[in-house]
Amino acid sequence: MYNREQLMEAVSSQMPAKRWQHTLGVMETAVKLAEQYGADPVKAELASILHDVAKYWPTDRLEQVLRENHLNPGLLQEDKQLWHAEVGAFVAQQEYGIEDLDILDAIRYHTSGREGMSLLEKVVCLADYIEPGRDFPGVNKLRKLANHSLEEALAAGLGTTISHLVEKNKAIYVLTVQARNDLMKQMP
C-alpha cells in the first residue's frame, strides 16, 4: 500500500507541475477548513491529494474507465470536464486502496457538488475554489466568506461556476444546481 509520500509521488507523476502546485494548495486549504469546521483533517488531506488524479488523463482513457466499469452512465452525456472527478474516485479506490466512502465521495463530487453534501465534501469542494494559487474574479470574496460560513462560501463558489458556464454558453450539470440550491437552504 501507499504511504502519504508515496501517494503524493504517484499522483504528482500524473500531472504537470502547475497542477501539482494546485493540489498542494488544495491540501493545505482543505486541512485548514477541516480544522475550522470540524471535519477530519487527515481525510481532507487524503481526498485533496487524489481529487485531480485523473485531470490530465486523455479523454479516451477517462471514457474507457467510465464505460468499462459502468460508472455513472449519465456522465458520458455531460461535459468532459466533469469526468475526472468520477474517475478520480474510482482510481482512488481501485489503485490507491482508499476504502472510506466519505473520502471517495469528496473526490467524486469535488467538481459539481451534490444535494446533501457531507462536511468533508464541502471542505474539499471549497478548498478547490479558494486554494492560494487560484486567481479568478471573485476569489477573494469567496476566501472572506470561507472565514465565516462554509455553506455560504461554497454556494457562492458554485454560483461563480454557473455564471461562468452561462457566459460561455455551456450546459450546467444538474448536480451543480442542486448543490447550490441545497447549500442556500442551509444558510442562516
Q: Which residues bind Fe ion (CB under 5 A)?
A: 52, 128
Q: Which is nearer to ligand DGI, 139 or 165 (CB)?
A: 165
Task: For residue 49, give every residue at least 6 positions away whose Cβ sits within 8 Å of its Cβ, in sequence order, or none.
Answer: 4, 7, 8, 11, 23, 27
Under the binding rule (CB under 6 A), the answer on residue 48 touching ligand DGI is no
Question: Which value, in Å, is the radius of gyration of the alpha carbons in the chain?
Answer: 15
Binding mask 71-90 for ligand DGI (x = CB under 6 A): --------x-xx--x-----
Q: How far is the CB of 187 from ligand DGI (least distance, A)?
A: 20
Q: List the grid coordinates of 164.
A: 461562468
Measuring CA to CA, which residue among 110, 133, 129, 113 is closest to residue 53? 110
Say which entry of ligand DGI, Fe ion, none residue 173 contacts (CB below 5 to 8 A, set by partner kind). Answer: ligand DGI
Among 29, 48, 93, 111, indicate the residue that binds ligand DGI (CB under 6 A).
111
Helix/strand/coil for 109: coil
| CA neighbor of 179 nearest in space, from 103, 104, 100, 125 | 125
The answer to whether residue 128 forms part of the interface with ligand DGI (CB under 6 A) is yes
Is residue 40 involved in binding ligand DGI (CB under 6 A)? no
The phi, psi pair for 8, rounded to 5°, reads -60, -40
Binding site for ligand DGI (CB under 6 A): 52, 55, 79, 81-82, 85, 110-112, 128, 161, 165, 170-173, 176
